[in-house]
Amino acid sequence: MKMKIARGTLAIILPLALAFLLSFAACTESKMHVNEKRLQVAFSRSHLKGKKLQPAKAGDKEAVLSSNRTEKGSMTNTWCIAKPSTNNDKLLHNVEYSCGEANVDCRSIQLGGTCFHPNNAVSHASFAMNLFYQDSGKHPWNCDFNGTGLIVSDNPSFGLCQYPA
């Protein structure tokens, strides 16, 4: 009698446990997919014209996909810039972190450098974060900086300040 009860209980618990595990795995996969899509968002160059950043539309020919390929399949350059809404403390931390890496040369954002002006945290952080991003392999996670970086497909260089691609 006890054996029949144990088998019956096992017959009920085992499918429930399997269903729970499968739903947990599906939920985790769904969250990973959403986070990957967030990293793939490309922004237009409108911030250089004093306008608010706009997300690239799905139909844009140069929308950046996760493999650095445009929708037509050709390679495109990408850059990493700082989100303009990020507070200065976080941006300065990004500059310190990026410029502390061995292959990252931040002399351009120092006084007298070609990218010193405009002398503000967003500009300096954008340049330093891009140097780190380029040196580290241009993976989406190399531009995350705890959610303060953006990957763009339009070259943010201006005047004598040239952002490496």
Q: How far is residue 47's CA from residue 26's CA, in Å, rounded to a whole number?
A: 38
Over 80: is that where the pLDDT of 164 sits? yes
Q: Cβ distance 44 to 154 under 8 Å?
A: yes
Nearest C-alpha neighbor of 123 from the set 47, 23, 25: 47
Helix (H/G/I), strand (E/B), else coil: 150 = strand
Query: Which amino acid is located at 51 in the chain?
Result: K
Task: Tell me what percent of the chain is helix, strand and coil, each rounded to the nearest 5.
Answer: 50, 10, 45
Over 80: is that where the pLDDT of 10 sits? no
User: Average pLDDT in the 48-76 region?
Assistant: 40
- Select, from the ranges 34-38, 42-46, 56-60, 138-142, the one with the highest average predicted confidence (pLDDT): 138-142
Helix (H/G/I), strand (E/B), else coil: 79 = strand
Helix axes 121-135, 88-99, angle to 10 degrees: 40
Q: How far is residue 62's CA from residue 75's CA, in Å, rounded to a whole number?
A: 10
Q: Cβ distance 45 to 152 under 8 Å?
A: yes
User: Average pLDDT in the 148-152 region?
Assistant: 97
Confidence of residue 49 (pLDDT cuts 50, 70, 90): very low
Tokens read off for 53? 């950043």
